[in-house]
Amino acid sequence: MEGRAGWAVGLALCLFTGARPGAADGQIISPGKLSGAHAEWDGIRSCTRCHELRKPGVSNTLCLECHTPLRTRIAARRGYHATVADQGCAECHKDHFGEDFALVRLDTLAFDHSDTGYDLEGAHESTGCRSCHVPERVADVDVVEFKEPRGALSHTFLGLPTTCEACHAQDDPHGSQFEGRECTECHDTSGWEEAGGFDHSRTRYPLTGLHVQVTCEECHAPARPGGQGAGRGALVFKPLSFGTCQACHADPHRGAMEGACTRCHSTAGWKRVDPSAVEGRFNHRSTGFDLVGRHASAPCASCHDARARTRPAGIHLAFDRSTLGDPFPRPEAGSCLACHDDAHAGEFHEAGRASDCLECHDQTLWVPSAYGITRHNQDSPFVLDGAHLVVECSGCHTTPERPRTFVVDHSSCASCHAETDPHGEQFSGRACDECHTTSSFSIRTFDHATTAYPLDGAHATVECGACHTSAIVPDGRTVVRYRPLGMECRDCHGARP
């Protein structure tokens, strides 16, 4: 009441005296000089710019007639001032304390930034106010037009955009790779190094198997000079070729597999090849070695054994070594012996024959062989006939040293039948076929007249066994004695009585 009374008295004095109030007169009723920002309105003539007649205090409406950027924000319910629109401006921004008095007196440590509509989280929490609120980042045109002419752009906290690039455009590591995309799709304010919001499975190349463990840098390496990429040593995320494995990996097979890595491999590991997948999908004919017969059902590992550095006994493939030191399918399969041990120990090769297993065997079954009697009689100097036609191959082709041999001595019957010679050594040096044939061991015909004791008279009808009786020979066997025998009468008939 006293204030209003004083104002009324002062105004009445002016009117009564006919005097016009000047600056000095204004000092009589003003509580003090205005701040530097309002200094041009100092004096009694300008009171109504901020004060309404017959109303105490400062008018918010009149404040916002000048401070249009704030009026726009409050109307749009944006920013801090929209949250305190029901409070008087003078509650925070007092004036009449002199030109040097700061109208904005903000306790930055106590200020709750979430009231502005932009929460400070993560690394932003420890960032100083003026690290962000600097003149060059003020983007709101209304704020710039209001503050800049007054030289107050460096004093305001208004007008900053809330996008990441507004502050971080200069240190954007991606260049223009993600132009038009929001940083928050991948990153958050806890730190730029990690892209916690990025889900590779939502891209055109989901990560599986060992790719999940690979660091970003191993695939998204900085572009080479002159190549595509963001430049400045930035990682290249797009465009990036990923249509084939060779886009990232060197081909250890040097094109032998035509780059079709997924026919055999998966991202679970290059050395972990699923046999069922390979056996079901891989065209072995493309290697130059078609799988037929028993080969078609053989497990891959029975031939493709990575642990077999040298060829052991049994089936095996000889491999070229890859750049990784592992075997890969370029087998030396020019002949069966490239994989299989020679069961004949080189007999046919040593005999001047080509070591071609397929002359006798096929890939369906190794036994029995296709080598039969007809081939035997064509190729061998020992023609099979008579009882020899029904003898098993192993009956002749065997030795104590190994289970079977095909290079044998067939110069005489004794080559095979020495141990079964029923005569002992009685006819040593004589040929069996002088008496026997291959049809039977029984004597075909024997002309006793060719011996030193021709048979005549009653002797011609005597059975052989009557004269040629059993005897024990030096090696302990019992044989029929044919020689030597006495040729005197008494040798058979005894002495005359």
419 and 472 housed in the same domain? yes
Cα angle 118-122-124, degrees, rounded to a multiple of 5: 55
**Which of 296, 314, 341 is at the close of a domain?**
341
Residues whose CB is less than 8 angstroms from the CB of residue 303 and which lie 6 or more positions away in sequence, other chains included: 315, 316, 317, 331, 339
60 and 134 housed in the same domain? yes
pTM above 0.75, yes or no: no
Nearest Cα to 296, choosing from 317, 273, 279?
279
Q: Is residue 313 part of a domain?
A: yes
33 and 136 housed in the same domain? yes
Q: Is residue 229 part of a domain?
A: yes
Sites in the chain below the pLDDT cut of 50:
1-26, 226-231, 309-326, 329
Q: Tell me the pLDDT tens digit for each residue of 397-445.
A: 877 666 677 877 777 887 888 777 888 888 888 888 888 888 888 877 7
Peptide bond into 368 cis (omega under 30): yes
Q: Is residue 386 part of a domain?
A: no
Q: Which stretch of DSSP H or E encloses residue 69? A: helix 68-75
Domain with 143, as residue range(s), is 22-150
97, 331, 333 from 337: Cα distances, Å? 108, 12, 8
Nearest Cα to 483, choosing from 429, 441, 402?
429
Q: Is residue 219 part of a domain?
A: yes
Burial class (CB within 10 angstroms; exposed 0-12, middle 13-18, buried 19+) of 317: buried
Matching residue, tokens 């095979």:
416
45 and 101 housed in the same domain? yes
- The end-to-end CA distance of the chain, in Å, is 193
Task: Determine phi and psi for 328, rounding to 5 degrees.
Answer: -140, 160
Q: Is residue 400 part of a domain?
A: no
Q: Is residue 9 part of a domain?
A: no
31 and 136 housed in the same domain? yes
193 and 276 housed in the same domain? no
| Cα distance between residue 35 and residue 28, in whole Å | 18
pLDDT at residue number 297: 83
130 and 32 housed in the same domain? yes
**Which of 128, 150, 172 is at the close of a domain?**
150
| Cα distance between residue 164 and residue 184, in whole Å | 8
pLDDT at residue number 333: 62
40 and 137 housed in the same domain? yes
**Which of 210, 242, 274 is at the close of a domain?**
242
Matching residue, tokens 């005897």:
471
pLDDT at residue number 264: 76
210 and 288 housed in the same domain? no
pLDDT at residue number 150: 86
215 and 309 housed in the same domain? no
Contacts 24+ apart (CB under 8 A), 245-249: 248/219
Buried b (16+ CB within 10 A) or exposed e, 46-85: eeeebeeeeeeebbbeebbeebebbbebbeeeebbbbbee
142 and 54 housed in the same domain? yes
95 and 207 housed in the same domain? no
Burial class (CB within 10 angstroms; exposed 0-12, middle 13-18, buried 19+) of 159: buried
When divided into structural domains, the chain yields a total of 4
List 470's β-bridge partners, or say none.
Answer: 480
Q: Is residue 3 part of a domain?
A: no
Q: Is residue 1 part of a domain?
A: no
